[in-house]
Amino acid sequence: MWRRRQRRIMSRLGLIAGGGSLPLKLIETCKRTGRDIFVLAIEGQAEKPFSPGVPHHWIKLGETGKTISLLKSEAIDTLVLAGSVRRPSLSELRPDWRTVRVFAKLGLAALGDDALLRAVANEIRKEGIALIGAHEIEPDLLTPEGFLTSRKPSPENIADMEYGIKIVRELGRLDVGQAAVVQEGIALGVEAVEGTDALLKRARDQRRKGSGGVLVKGCKPQQDKRLDLPAIGLRTLRLAHEAGLSGIAVEAGASLLLDREEVLSAADKLGLFIVGFKA
């Protein structure tokens, strides 16, 4: 009996929650399937109020040692990182000793999102905690390949999309961002520290007269697909519409399409296309 109880406890899933709706969706999936879950919510990033009845603890960015201690004390052997995390300035971070050691190993590379995430993930793995992607909990989150809406991209849209993919690949290689907006062969903006929402708001102000542009989102070439996959949802769609864009192209099999049915239905009503592209 003790052994059965130990296996049950050690199967608990840990969730480090950033902003947006994805962490809450994963929590609901776990509640629906009866999977035991413990949440570490990042202060200033995760949504409030938090899901009632779910055991959780609030942590600050930079508390790597504390995070690992909490995961071990809660007998977590599997962990998922979900939700957006606004990259803080170095002055905002209050790194503990373990985080300082990670920074020391990385040097200037610590200023990039992907390098820092991979380094912290490696510290967690050293403690025997396995990392999984959000799509391994909810496979339907992954963006499928092909034309996903009633509206299809025009030849001009496809040209913008192809150019946007090249831009996003280079942004990713440099560990800068995951998205770009292109209209009639002109890059209206690229994603950096501000995130996709702010990019779309800037693109609205930069938009030229003529056919609408395209938002392109893709995975960084070096990215660990268990960490920080690009995602779009209803908010992304609304902002793309407000920016006067014709549609969205997002990497199939390497990005998350949140609220898929609602997003595709809303896109049809707004007259936007959504394409899942293979890089």
Which tens digits make up the pLDDT trace of 187-228?
999 998 788 999 999 999 998 888 889 999 999 887 777 777
Judge contact between 279 and 165, C-beta under 8 A.
yes
Q: Which two tokens stand for residue 219?
A: 């995975």
| Angle formed by the axes of helices 113-126 and 64-73, nearest 10° | 40
pLDDT in tens, 107-131: 545 555 555 666 777 788 888 899 8
Residues constituting the chain = 279
Q: Using CA atoms, how far apart are residues 257 and 238, in angstroms rounded to an integer?
A: 14
Please give the distance of CA 66 from its chain centroid, rounded to a whole number: 23
Q: For residue 231, what are the CA distances in angstroms to 9, 98, 103, 116, 190?
A: 31, 30, 27, 19, 16
List of domains in the chain: 2-136 (3.40.50.20), 142-277 (3.40.140.80)
Share of the chain above pLDDT 90, in %: 49
Rounded to 5°, the CA angle 218-90-68 comes to 75
Helix orientation angle between 97-106 and 64-73, rounded to the nearest 10 degrees: 120
